[in-house]
Structure 1
Amino acid sequence: MTTQVPYRPIPVDQSDVRYAHGPDSVVQPGVPAGETVEFHWTDSTTYPGTTRKFWAHVPASYDPAEPAALMVFQDGRLYLDPDGEVRGGIVLDNLIHRGDIPVMIGLFVDPGVYDDVADAQRRKNRNVEYDAFDDRYVGFLLSEIIPQVMERYSVTEDPDRWGICGGSSGGNCAFTAAWLRPDRFRRVIGFLSSFVQMPQGNPYPDLIPKTARKPLRIFLQAGHRDLGWNKPEWNWLANNLRVAAALAEAGYDFRLVLGDGGHSPNHGGVLLPDALRWLWRA
């Protein structure tokens, strides 16, 4: 089957590009809104001293008798904000209502902060959690956060129905979570992933070809004018392209969408409905 794509002129000047949201990112008449439940976590053993909020977005069609799929989003507040660029809850409501994706609970998790630290930058634990190349963060999700949701809601144990999404450092975090724990997460979305910020450098271009293919389905988005786009080092664009090339050569089920603009959640947010449809296709 051939898909006809409408003609769209590309911008000549890429310095300030903004993508318009589609109808799946806007509240639609007749689509029932899901319920968003807020949690506050102050007792972490993985990241002692941190506090954070997280939210479970439960679709209107959720039925406790039918275990739901699970989709985890990093930077939860940003990705859930109905007036923001991503609008995760609205997108899930629209796609689930139409049957484009299975009934799933969206879990939106904020990074930890140290409330007793005065310095604004040192308060944030985001880069420690998201940029590390180890299983500490995914273990945190599996042992501390997800169990609280599963106590309250019926969620499938099938790893083929668990996904994880993030942007910037949250994007490489999502990739690492699935890479290290494909027994739990097998569907991945990474928007403008900050592979370049990983403490020992980006391991994936070398690691992917040397490792037996994992049962992952991966959607990546990169930007022509992402950070350091024309620099020999600390180049966000180049590192995303290298990861995509390694996935292609290793035969992964993956998709790369390359857009214009800089390090902004706009393009990834606009793509989220299509990314979810592609990720959860049969």
Structure 2
Amino acid sequence: MPDAVPYRPLPLDLTSVTYAHGPDSQRRADVPQGTTVELTVDTSAVYPGTSRRVWIHVPTHAADAPPAALMVVNDGWWYLDPDGQVRGGIVLDNLVHAGDIPFTIGVFVEPGLLVGADQPKHRNVEYDAFDDRYVTFLLDEVIPLVAERYRLTDDPEQWGICGGSSGGNAAFTAAWLRPDRFRRVVAYLSSFAQMPGGNPYPELVARTDRKPLRVFLQAGHRDLNWDAPRRNWLAENLRVAAALAEAGYDLRLVLGDGGHSPNHGGVLLPDALRWSLNPAVPGRDAR
């Protein structure tokens, strides 16, 4: 039986659209709140001189819960904030409680700050680069802190990474370079357009053997420079999506309205996690 989608008229003003959060993004009286642990990572071999906060969110679970699936989320607090647009902890609590996704621990990682620097923000250095430093930092310096405290599955099919804007291309790059560890990607309004040296992925995806990735992309009709010939956030996201589709990837693209805002991606998070992490969702090879 096909799913029936209710009719909704398209807005005429594509810039000022705001999407309403669904019930899975709201606290529910019948869903126990998980626990959140905050850590400070103030030493790093990969990014010397940086300090950052990391939050580990663990939904409530039975004592005999299996080793947890893992979802790493870039821009930590922005995506965890229960009063923000994304509300990652609330979404994880609701989906795990409902059995819509496996028992999943969320690791919300802030970009680094250069201690004592005049310009301390290190976000673009970490997120926009096309190299393995960020994924190495996660695997060698962050995830071991989680594994010391909680049991994690070793199955890369249950390891995902999520982010928006520059955090979106950082998520894609991490999985692209290390599909042996991360095979689920959720990327919103990714800043492929501002990667140093240009967006490598349309050409790279086309000439590289298909990797075992499941990729959820969200793009916006009125994202940055949407009508410009260069550094066009909308166009570069569509180019990446087209390359993935032509290469036969397990891909879901959601194109919405509005500008460069976390609103639409945040509203989509419950569905993105269901599609990404639920092993019952048919993949490419099941078609």
Secondary structure of the 1:152 match is coil
Return the offset for 1:64: 6.5
Return the offset for 1:115: 2.7
Q: Alpha-carbon deviations, 1:210-259, whole Å to 9, x = none? A: 00000000000000000000000010000000000001100000100000
Match of 2:10 in 1: 10
Match of 1:279 in 2: 276
Secondary structure of the 2:114 match is coil
TM-score (norm 2): 0.96
Is 1:127 the counterpart of 2:134? The answer is no
Return the offset for 1:15: 2.3
Secondary structure of the 2:179 match is coil
Match of 2:148 in 1: 151
Match of 2:284 in 1: none
Identity %: 70
Residue type of the alignment partner of 1:98: A
How does 1:55-204 map onto structure 2 within 5 Å? 55-61=55-61, 63=63, 66-118=66-118, 122-204=119-201
Residue type of the alignment partner of 2:233: W
Is the 2:65–2:103 contact (alpha carbons within 8 Å) kept by the matching residues of 1? no
Distance in 1, Cα, partners of 2:104 & 2:157: 12
Gaps of 5+ in 2: 281-287
Is the 1:222–1:240 contact (alpha carbons within 8 Å) kept by the matching residues of 2? yes
Distance in 1, Cα, partners of 2:275 & 2:15: 29
TM-score (norm 1): 0.97
Secondary structure of the 2:148 match is helix
Secondary structure of the 2:255 match is strand
Match of 2:214 in 1: 217
Distance in 2, Cα, partners of 1:66 & 1:276: 19
Distance in 2, Cα, partners of 1:94 & 1:114: 36
Secondary structure of the 2:50 match is coil
Gaps of 5+ in 1: none
Return the offset for 1:209: 1.1
Secondary structure of the 2:127 match is helix
Return the offset for 1:66: 1.8
Secondary structure of the 1:51 match is strand
Moved over 3 A (4+): 62-65
Residue type of the alignment partner of 1:6: P
CA 1:152–1:209: 2 relative to 1, 3 Å: same
Distance in 1, Cα, partners of 2:130 & 2:255: 25
Is the 1:65–1:154 contact (alpha carbons within 8 Å) kept by the matching residues of 2? no
RMSD of equivalent CA atoms:
0.9
Match of 2:283 in 1: none
CA 1:62–1:222: 2 relative to 1, 3 Å: farther
CA 1:64–1:264: 2 relative to 1, 3 Å: same
Aligned length: 279
